[in-house]
Amino acid sequence: MPLNPPAGLASARHERRIDTVYSRLFTQLAHRIACEAYRIRFIHHNLQHKKSNPKVAFFMLPPG
């Protein structure tokens, strides 16, 4: 017999709350990855064309 109590309304609500927290974290992580990929692609594009653009210096900074 399992030691944990049967799943009631409270535990179901708790699990749903954990799911929303994890999905929110995953969404933020995916957004950050997309931003990083865009930034890297932008830098690569500008380096290929050898543009002397003042914006490139800003994008070359590490994130944060």
- Residues 4-14: tens digit of each pLDDT: 555 555 666 67
pLDDT number for residue 5: 55
The pTM of this model reads 0.43
pLDDT number for residue 29: 93
Dihedral sign computed on CA atoms, order 18, 23, 26, 31: negative
What proportion of the chain, given as a percentage, has pLDDT over 90?
A: 17
Start-end of H helices in the chain: 9-49, 54-60
Higher-pLDDT residue of 38 and 9 is 38
Higher-pLDDT residue of 25 and 2 is 25
